[in-house]
Amino acid sequence: MSTLRPRLLIAVLAAATAFGVSGSAGAESAPPPSGDGPIRGVVLAVHGGAGSLPRGSITPERERAYRDGLEKALRTGYRLLADGRPSLDAVEAAVRVLEDDPLFNAGKGAVFNTDAEHELDASIMDGRDLRSGAVAGVHNTKNPISLARMVMERSPHVLMAGAGADTFALRNGVPYTTQDYYFTQRRWDSLMEAKQPDAEPKEGGGTVGAVAVDRSREVAAATSTGGLTNKLVGRVGDSPIIGAGTYANSRTVAVSCTGTGEVFIRGVAAYDISAIMEYTGAPVRRAASKVVNEKIPALGATGGVIALDPRGTLATPHSTPGLINGYITRDGRVVTRVYNDETPAG
Shortest separation between residue 260's beta carbon and ligand ASP, angstroms: 6
Shortest separation between residue 43's beta carbon and ligand ASP, angstroms: 24
Question: CA 239, CA 226: separation in Å to the nearest integer?
Answer: 9
Choose the binding region for ligand ASP from 132-140, 253-261, 278-286, 291-299 (rule: CB under 6 A).
253-261
Question: CA 31, CA 21: separation in Å to the nearest integer?
Answer: 15
Residues 195-224 within binding reach of ligand ASP (CB under 6 A): 204-205, 207
- Residue 238 touching ligand ASP (CB under 6 A): yes
Nearer CB in complex with ligand ASP: 48/86: 48
Report, as residue numbers or ranges, the catalytic residues.
Answer: 207
Q: Could you tell me which of 305, 320, 284 has the C-alpha nearest to residue 38?
A: 284
Question: CA 222, CA 212: separation in Å to the nearest integer?
Answer: 9
Nearer CB in complex with ligand ASP: 43/228: 228
Helix residue spans in 126-175 (DSSP H): 144-154, 162-171
Is there a contact between 226 and 98 (Cβ–Cβ < 8 Å)? Answer: no
- Residue 246 touching ligand ASP (CB under 6 A): no
Nearer CB in complex with ligand ASP: 43/94: 94
Nearer CB in complex with ligand ASP: 210/228: 228
Nearer CB in complex with ligand ASP: 86/205: 205
3-state secondary structure of 210: strand
Q: Give the one residue of 41, 109, 243, 259 binding ligand ASP; rule: CB under 6 A.
A: 259
Question: CA 3, CA 120: separation in Å to the nearest integer?
Answer: 35
- Residue 261 touching ligand ASP (CB under 6 A): yes
φ and ψ at 6, to 5 degrees? Answer: -55, -40
- Residue 267 touching ligand ASP (CB under 6 A): no
Residues 45-84 within binding reach of ligand ASP (CB under 6 A): 49
Question: CA 185, CA 270: separation in Å to the nearest integer?
Answer: 32
Is there a contact between 116 and 96 (Cβ–Cβ < 8 Å)? Answer: no
- Residue 41 touching ligand ASP (CB under 6 A): no
Q: Could you tell me which of 52, 92, 74 has the C-alpha nearest to residue 1?
A: 74
Q: Give the one residue of 228, 301, 315, 323 binding ligand ASP; rule: CB under 6 A.
A: 228
- Residue 239 touching ligand ASP (CB under 6 A): yes
Is there a contact between 109 and 102 (Cβ–Cβ < 8 Å)? Answer: yes
- Residue 268 touching ligand ASP (CB under 6 A): no
Question: CA 144, CA 98: separation in Å to the nearest integer?
Answer: 11
- Residue 256 touching ligand ASP (CB under 6 A): no
- Give the residues lining the site for ligand ASP (CB under 6 A): 49, 204-205, 207, 225, 227-228, 237-239, 258-259, 261
